[in-house]
Amino acid sequence: MSTHVQTGYAEVNGTKLYYEIAGVGHPLTLIHGGLVDRHLWDDQFEAFAQHYRTIRYDIRGFGNSAVPTDGDFTLVDDLYHLLTFLGIEKTYLMGLSLGGGIAVDFTLAHPTMVDALITVGGGVSGFEWPENEEFKQIGEAIDAAIAQGDFERVVEIENHMWTDGPNRTPDQVDAGVRARVRAMHLHNYSLQTADTPSPRKPEKPALPRLGEIHAPTLIIVGDEDVVQIKEIAQTLATSIPNAKRAAIHNAAHHPNMEYPAEFNRVVLDFLASL
């Protein structure tokens, strides 16, 4: 990477969060998803740093950040304290999957700090996932593999569900993308155990409050993602005032990794329009 990168650890909110910063200009903060870590953004970090002061970090319990020791924390508070530590008062905020949910919750909790919101295959707090037979079988297969300590199998099941998507076979997906997700996911499993505490959920779920978001918003979704993620994307796009929506064709849950050039153009065009 030719861009100068500042790296460090922020000891904040009772934990230690690893971060990287590159570029100058208006801050743009990137939040990764629940299978991966900051390397999710490898194809974006330097490209975005050509235009913005770009920050990426590892969520508590992921990548190089500290593993939770108790459940008395929220991921929104972690992000707030990280940005405060870095002296960032206002930022563009982009999150994928779990990170998208964090970004939405953060925007509702700290609206004056978010100058634009971008979600990518984002979740949203308050959404109830269906208990259908397919998810039940996937959950049982994952539980069985975990019980046997077969994390390679766990990661492959989840890679097929999310990186491939419901309508594609593994050989229809870029092998390099699958390998990168797999490596990050396995590393996360090496950090956490069944006893690792989960963060507290938001006191006020975002789903019924989306109309309160007034930051310029872009909702990105891969058209090969799971049905529920596409439903959430549609809900976000119709419930957040004046939100824009963009679909990445033939991509599932990690469209930024599958089609980085197209993804980067969509994001940069949106931010340039503000």
Q: Could you please report the per-residue DSSP string of 17-64?
A: EEEEEE--SSEEEEE--TT--GGGGHHHHHHHHTTSEEEEEPPTTSTT
Strand partners, 9: 18
* Closest residue by Cα to residue 218 from 88, 100, 56: 100
Task: Give the domain-ending residue among 149, 172, 191.
Answer: 191
The upper half-sphere exposure of residue 75, i.e. CA atoms within 13 Å in the direction of its Cβ, equals 27
Two tokens, residue 129: 């996932």
The count of structural domains within the chain is: 2
212-257 pLDDT, tens digit per residue, is: 999 999 999 999 999 999 999 999 999 999 999 999 999 999 999 9
The count of other CB atoms within 10 Å of the CB of residue 176 is 10
Place of tokens 């960032």: 88
Identify whether residues 124 and 237 lie together within a single domain. yes
Name the pTM for this structure: 0.96
Identify whether residues 159 and 201 lie together within a single domain. no
Q: How far apart are CA 3 and CA 22, in angstroms?
A: 7
Identify whether residues 256 and 177 lie together within a single domain. no
Identify whether residues 203 and 111 lie together within a single domain. yes
185-218 pLDDT, tens digit per residue, is: 999 989 987 788 999 999 999 999 999 999 999 9
What is the extent of the structural domain holding 142?
133-191
